[in-house]
Chain A
Amino acid sequence: MTPRSTYQRMLGWGGQFAVILILGFLILPAAVVTIAAFNDKAILSFPPQAWSWHWFARALAYQDFRDGFRNGLIVTAWSSATALLVGAMFALVIDRYQFPFKRAIEGVLMSPLVIPHFTVGLGFLILSAQIGWSRSFAVVVACHVVLVLPFVLRSVYVSLKNLDQSYELAAASLGATPLRVLLTITLPLLLPGLVSGWLFAAILSFNEFTASLFVTSQRTQTLPVAMYNYVREFADPSMAALSVMYIVGTAALIAFANSFLGLGKVLSIEQSH
């Protein structure tokens, strides 16, 4: 055994301390909000003097939040599904074919990453007002599709890059038509990438605020917009309670998807003994 010097031991403790500090800093906001959510008083104070579940009940009962949640689900379902379909097709075409302006098309598809969300929202607001659709769900969905498309595209594109093309060639050599290859080989092998791309899109869409603020109306406002409108008028811990539910819900969804993806890998690719 090599004796460790005092210096080395200090360095080891210092390192561990730094890691704990960083981790603590990361979860600090969530922890503060969670604790505040259980405050008995009708103010967002910290630390609370007395404890209560009261604000969770209020958040769940508040009509604007209920509508916002329902609207959010509708918008998320449509936008993530549409983005998945469009993104997967674009990813496939960009990966497999050479054509003029390929880089330019790719650039346009990825551009929402660098365009601020409020710009996208404002653009959709002006456009939709122009054609008289400003109060419809379609505009919100279209706006969200644009915003989440790059993420789906990236996710599917990376999966495609990692997909060994010899599987598809082998299928073709065994007499499979291109459509059959796509359905029986390509799509099943891309499933993890498609699911994670969809999940990414769904979470982003459900949480999107900036652009949604422009394109939603009272009737179509999503949960983040409803929360914003609430906090402009009230300062009670309902918001904090809702945030806690948000965090728990999203975490549960990711945990579920992770086990599903893991399961998918076991079923399809990884060895199981």
Chain B
Amino acid sequence: MVGRDNAAVHFDAVTKRFGDVVALNEVSLAIRRGEFMTLLGPSGCGKTTLLKLAAGFLGPDGGSIAIHGKCVNDVPTYKREIGMMFQNYALFPHMNVAENVAYGLKTRRVRRQERRQRVAEALALVKLTGMEDRKPRQLSGGQQQRVALARALVINPTVLLLDEPFSALDKNLRASMQAELREIQRKLGLTTIFVTHDQSEALSLSDRMAVMSEGRIRQLGTPVEVYRRPSDRFVASFVGDTNKLRGRLVGTAATDAFIALGTAQVKVPGEPLSGAADSAPVDVFVRPEQLRVVSAGEPCAMTGNVVAQVYQGGHVDLQIECKASGHDRLLVRSAGDQAVTRWPLGTEVGISIDADGCAAFPAE
């Protein structure tokens, strides 16, 4: 466990209210030095509030926030040594690129000569050398983002705070900017808190991620842990695509539980089902890539009809209407594009399920 003193940022039972609304309810979170931590959740879950508390834009109503072991509850933003990137980048429109990047150095009274050198280095880091004299409005979205990053990095912040910085970029640019940001972050070993509502972004970028909902952290873990072993129904359905199937608990052994799904049996983590009676109904969350389409008549867990095909290039998403399942349509991901011709609409097919890697919770 990361203690308060060696954590880069430590939230300890932090509560924040806006009027009667509890935005954060005793949230505790320790972020390690050099870690890329993602706060993921739907809008209104409190993730942005948590980031604003770290930045000092808001003060907590309860609990404490420490940066590098020092409580910052009463430290104003301008003394916190943070780098922040905003959703709209917030580049100062009346200053050119070089002036924007130099702003944080001027407030620190860095001398002119050194300032110029550090601005040049920061712009080189984000590959914007030669753009010094441009105004923000003359830059593309991706370039604006690079300036915002250079401006945040040039002051050597203790923590980098990112508020949905990729949401305004188109898909291709987003992917390359994400990769670039992550590379720079690794190279500098910079502790980073990243806020997003995009679960695929969270999965692909994070060292660890905190899934939030209704002012609480629902699960904290690596992307693989969160994706493979969601701690509750909310996490299971919010992170990644999933199918919800009705199954029946048939037994428990050590930390595992066994669920009957159609004619198949799957193994799931037992903890969420502790206390459930044998043969109790459970909801099983199955990822689309854990389902496989087989020809009707072959051994399978359940049968159904193909009702929709969505060609995605590298894979095909099939929607299968399943009579036996409590849930009507199942999403099945089939690699390659053979599925398009092999399972045309209306075909009766069988579905088999990987025995491992599902999650189950008591039925609602």
Interface residue? B255 (CB, 8 A)? no
- The residues of A that contact B137 with a CB separation of less than 8 Å are 269-271
Distance from B79 Cβ to chain A, minimum over Cβ atoms (Å): 8
Question: Is B135 a contact of A189 with CB atoms below 8 Å?
Answer: no
Question: Is A170 a contact of B108 with CB atoms below 8 Å?
Answer: no
Interface residue? B310 (CB, 8 A)? no
A98 to B48 CA separation, bound complex (whole angstroms): 22
Provided the pairs A166-B88, A180-B107 are in contact, do residues A175 and B93 lie with their beta carbons within 8 angstroms?
no
Q: Main SS of chain A's interface residues?
A: helix
- A: interface residue count bin: 20 to 34
Question: Is A174 a contact of B55 with CB atoms below 8 Å?
Answer: no
Interface code B129-143, partner A: CB below 8 Å = 1, 0 otherwise?
000000101100000
Interface code B77-88, partner A: CB below 8 Å = 1, 0 otherwise?
111111110111
Provided the pairs A175-B104, A271-B138, A272-B135 are in contact, do residues A169 and B57 lie with their beta carbons within 8 angstroms?
yes
Interface set, chain A 203-243, CB cutoff 8 A to B = none
Interface residue? A173 (CB, 8 A)? yes
Question: Is B155 a contact of A185 with CB atoms below 8 Å?
Answer: no
Question: Is A176 a contact of B103 with CB atoms below 8 Å?
Answer: yes
Interface residue? A1 (CB, 8 A)? no
- The residues of A that contact B138 with a CB separation of less than 8 Å are 271-273
A235 to B103 CA separation, bound complex (whole angstroms): 63
- The residues of A that contact B107 with a CB separation of less than 8 Å are 174-177, 180
A8 to B138 CA separation, bound complex (whole angstroms): 46
- The residues of A that contact B342 with a CB separation of less than 8 Å are none
- The residues of B that contact A273 with a CB separation of less than 8 Å are 138
Provided the pairs A166-B88, A167-B92, A169-B84 are in contact, do residues A175 and B155 lie with their beta carbons within 8 angstroms?
yes
Closest to A171 in B: B103
- The residues of A that contact B84 with a CB separation of less than 8 Å are 169-170, 173
Distance from A198 Cβ to chain B, minimum over Cβ atoms (Å): 19
Interface set, chain B 106-161, CB cutoff 8 A to A = 107-108, 135, 137-138, 151-152, 155, 161
Interface residue? A164 (CB, 8 A)? yes
- The residues of A that contact B92 with a CB separation of less than 8 Å are 167, 170-171, 185
Provided the pairs A175-B155, A189-B93, A273-B138 are in contact, do residues A166 and B86 lie with their beta carbons within 8 angstroms?
yes
A252 to B135 CA separation, bound complex (whole angstroms): 31
Question: Is B103 a contact of A166 with CB atoms below 8 Å?
Answer: no
A57 to B155 CA separation, bound complex (whole angstroms): 66
A87 to B119 CA separation, bound complex (whole angstroms): 39
A200 to B81 CA separation, bound complex (whole angstroms): 42
Distance from B251 Cβ to chain A, minimum over Cβ atoms (Å): 55
Distance from A270 Cβ to chain B, minimum over Cβ atoms (Å): 7
- The residues of B that contact A267 with a CB separation of less than 8 Å are 94
Interface residue? B363 (CB, 8 A)? no
A177 to B108 CA separation, bound complex (whole angstroms): 11
Distance from A267 Cβ to chain B, minimum over Cβ atoms (Å): 7
Interface residue? B169 (CB, 8 A)? no
A173 to B76 CA separation, bound complex (whole angstroms): 9
A46 to B272 CA separation, bound complex (whole angstroms): 96
Question: Is A188 a contact of B94 with CB atoms below 8 Å?
Answer: yes
Interface residue? B355 (CB, 8 A)? no
Interface residue? A268 (CB, 8 A)? yes
A239 to B23 CA separation, bound complex (whole angstroms): 67
For the complex of A and B, list the 10 residue pairs with the smallest distance between their C-beta atoms, beginning with the closest.
A174-B104, A271-B137, A268-B94, A175-B107, A166-B90, A173-B84, A170-B90, A172-B77, A166-B86, A176-B107
